[in-house]
Structure formats: C-alpha cells, structure tokens
Amino acid sequence: MAKKTIMLVCSAGMSTSLLVTKMQKAAEEQEIDSDIFAVSSSEADTQLENKDVNVLLLGPQVRFMKDDFEKKLAPKNIPVDVINMSDYGMMNGENVLNQALKLIED
C-alpha cells in the first residue's frame, strides 16, 4: 500500500500535535505507511505546495475554512473534511485516522 500523507490544520498547530501522535500510533498498529502531521492554518498553503498530501483534515476550531480549502484543493483531487468534534475532544487517533483513510479511498 502506498504511503498515506495526512495533513491536519488547526488554528495554531498545537492542539492537534497530540492527536497526530495518537493517529501515528494507530497507523503503526494497523501497519499503514503514513506521514501524519499538523500545521497552523497560516502554514497550510506552504505545506500544500511543498508536500504531496492525500487528505486534509481541519480541526473543529477552523471548520469555517473548509470551503476555501475545498476550492483550492478540488483541482488536485485532495479531499477536505472537518474532524469529528467528539473524536477531536477525546483525542481519538484511531477514529480520525479511519476518517482520513475513508476520504482517501472514496
């Protein structure tokens, strides 16, 4: 299976760093080759230019940016979604990883 590159975007990039760690652990347990990382909303465009991202997930606090990212990423066929609020609050890395993988497969 090809490497999955999952980018998480939040307001400062801090709150999602713990979620990234939990998602990486879940990916290892499922033997999924992945590159999962979090950036602040201000760094997102630069990262998208420099990395081959498969899916972009937004933290609930920046859900208002979804339309903008969808317009930007539609030509590249990169799916965009908002992380489920309860999964984010509970830092459920496995559920968020599964959400990302489902978007990549669709």
Task: Quote the pTM value.
Answer: 0.94
Mean pLDDT over the full length of the chain: 94
Count the domains in the chain. Answer: 1
26: domain CATH number is 3.40.50.2300
**Nearest one of 64, 58, 63, 31 to 44, comparing CA atoms:** 58
pLDDT by residue (tens digit) across 16-37? 889 999 999 999 999 999 999 9
Q: Provide the CA 17 distance to its chain's centre, in angstroms.
A: 11
Q: Is 10 designated active site?
A: yes
Q: Domain range spanning residue 85?
A: 4-105
Q: Which residue pairs, CB below 8 angstroms and at least 24 apart, start in 68-71?
A: 69/9, 69/44
pLDDT by residue (tens digit) across 70-88? 999 999 999 999 999 999 9
- Say whether pLDDT at 14 is over 80: no
Query: Which of 7, 9, 10, 100 does the annotation list as catalytic?
Result: 10
